[in-house]
Structure 1
């Protein structure tokens, strides 16, 4: 038997058994049906009107109180039971990506150029499954808020920030917040957690280079932005290798270079789009400072100019220790110790749930999406969420609520 969770939150377990995976397994087909519906009808950031309406209808039919239009297209559902005064928030993302799907699945996207290539359809289905189960059982004492958040993929002015700016935590108070994301490369049902920094901060940098255009046969009369841009790209590689402490993690990726239109024309300008990832605030500032200096000085050395524009993206996801340990304990109870990875490796991807964690204690955890063919990279046109996770994730959310908002202390079963 496992001990009851005890933390400064004074959360106490329920009398009676907690939700198990077996309690949700009979609903697997229903969960799949919801997930496949969402997959067929993807919507991009701040366009999730039909997605939000679908989630709201389901939640209201189960007895949840629903607020629409939170953070433009977001939905918040609230359910209270017992006389408890504590509250917990569970967040899922809703938006899809501008990708043409290439899976060939029966439930493939019906929206050209749009696809759930990051698993947000699965994230929503797991939380909807938990919502239905919690409404039917109500084995908790307190208040649960479900955040169906838009625009996680937006990169800037994200859905989490929008919801917070519109008074999310004032309208729907939470003692802690939790979120889950799928993780290709780990087996389904394996939970990965990490105390402290877990997912990286993200910033976007655009470098506009101005040279002097001309005829390709007379390069001496021009200042070629292709050469300037290439020199900047190569010099940028030295920042992580030679300026960042080797004990720190950082990535600078030049994602696109736009320059020129014909082989016999030397262009007059070029543009570089850059993704910058880091965990430490000092390293984050260093990266942006060095990118600007290198771009400006490299351009000047060729007789060109470079204008650097930096856009703040997402901060690093930093999980609070108490809530991470609690989520890990719930996961161990549910799937066994061998299927829980604590202090998992850092993830260089970014997540706007970080904004919520800056304002409330909580944790983001990841659930394995499979290995081999099932481990298609996120944001790939061949990606698909693993339906084996649906009852597991729904059971996890249900048990976490029951444990966090428990009625009385007893030994967990």
Structure 2
């Protein structure tokens, strides 16, 4: 389709899982248990494919002890992987604010309530309130990337629209941040004779990598790839709807290095590309993870 591309690697994820399935099938006499492969749609469009599958009963109809997911990372050297135990990827919410004023001629200052000025103050004060209240033991981000005020050089508009995102790693602080956003916008708008309508679209929750599952796979990866091929990662402010699974089942999402040396090819950019040699080892690694988890989790019963 014109104007459409794989800019996040989901074609790679699909190819990887198909090949993993083939490897496990060819090795079926060497392992016991059941492996379910989930080809999930719509990771990037709210509310996400994961929650749709959960609501359809995929976990109820197929009792699951552990879940694995992989995502490509162009910043990690090809041939390496990275993972982190505990909270790994941020929750994400979409913020929509309408600042309502009163339109008028820009020269007649007594005749209008300027929503552009109100919106500017809302953004500045909200940023200050958010930063001063945010806990310092984990990262949080409140960023606005869109502001629309369809006036003219000499016309003050009725409304200004703001759109942004909230990302964090703690569900209680997430709720508090929602209150700060709503209160700041409405209070400042009223103070300047305007009004504010705030809509927060709850997105994906925090993605949690289970400690036991992560440790089993970390050691397995060192055995499969080599001691120096497994990196310990930090918090990622990006989000993934696999988080919905991770809230219910012990899970691990790890990152696959696909870096092309000498090139900066970021996810979601028009120049994104991968080093395809990563697929020479990645499906085998995922199969190895699955077999190790089957063995270790059965041993713990």
TM-score interval (norm. to shorter): over 0.9
Q: CA offset at residue 341 of structure 1?
A: 1.6
Is the CA contact (8 Å cut-off) linking 1:323 and 1:363 kept in structure 2?
yes
Is the CA contact (8 Å cut-off) linking 1:206 and 1:272 kept in structure 2?
yes
Alpha-carbon distance change, 224 to 349 in structure 1, aligned in 2, over 3 angstroms: same
SS in 1 for 2:125: helix
- Work out the CA distance in 2 between the residues paired with 1:373 and 1:227: 45
- Work out the CA distance in 1 between the residues paired with 2:224 and 2:264: 23
Q: CA offset at residue 231 of structure 1?
A: 1.1
Q: Does 2:16 correspond to 1:126? A: yes
Is the CA contact (8 Å cut-off) linking 2:146 and 2:162 kept in structure 1?
yes
- Write the deviation string for residues 187-225 of structure 1: whole angstroms up to 9, x where unpaired: 012211111100001111111111001112223311111
CA RMSD of superposed structures (Å): 1.7
Counterpart of 2:253 (choices 359, 364, 367) is 364
- Write the deviation string for residues 49-80 of structure 1: whole angstroms up to 9, x where unpaired: xxxxxxxxxxxxxxxxxxxxxxxxxxxxxxxx
Counterpart of 1:346 (choices 235, 240, 249) is 235
- Work out the CA distance in 2 between the residues paired with 1:205 and 1:143: 41
- Work out the CA distance in 2 between the residues paired with 1:371 and 1:210: 48
Aligned counterpart, 2:84: 194
Structure 2: gaps (5+ residues):
none
Matches within 5 A, 1:237-386: 237-342=127-232, 344-370=233-259, 373-386=262-275
Q: Does 2:37 correspond to 1:141? A: no
Counterpart of 1:178 (choices 44, 61, 68) is 68
Is the CA contact (8 Å cut-off) linking 1:374 and 1:384 kept in structure 2?
no
Q: Does 2:282 correspond to 1:396? A: no
Is the CA contact (8 Å cut-off) linking 2:102 and 2:112 kept in structure 1?
yes
- Work out the CA distance in 2 between the residues paired with 1:337 and 1:243: 41
Q: CA offset at residue 275 of structure 1?
A: 0.3
Q: Does 2:16 correspond to 1:153? A: no
- Work out the CA distance in 1 between the residues paired with 2:185 and 2:261: 40
Q: CA offset at residue 247 of structure 1?
A: 2.5
- Write the deviation string for residues 333-388 of structure 1: whole angstroms up to 9, x where unpaired: 1111111123x110000111111111111211111221665442211111113312
Which structure would you say has the larger RCO, counting Cα contacts within 8 Å and 6 or more residues apart?
Answer: 2
Q: CA offset at residue 406 of structure 1?
A: 4.3
What TM-score do the two structures reach when normalised by structure 2?
0.93
Alpha-carbon distance change, 167 to 129 in structure 1, aligned in 2, over 3 angstroms: same
- Work out the CA distance in 1 between the residues paired with 2:258 and 2:129: 34
- Write the deviation string for residues 112-140 of structure 1: whole angstroms up to 9, x where unpaired: 13221111111111111111222222232
- Work out the CA distance in 1 between the residues paired with 2:265 and 2:164: 24
Structure 1: gaps (5+ residues):
1-110
Matches within 5 A, 1:81-96: none
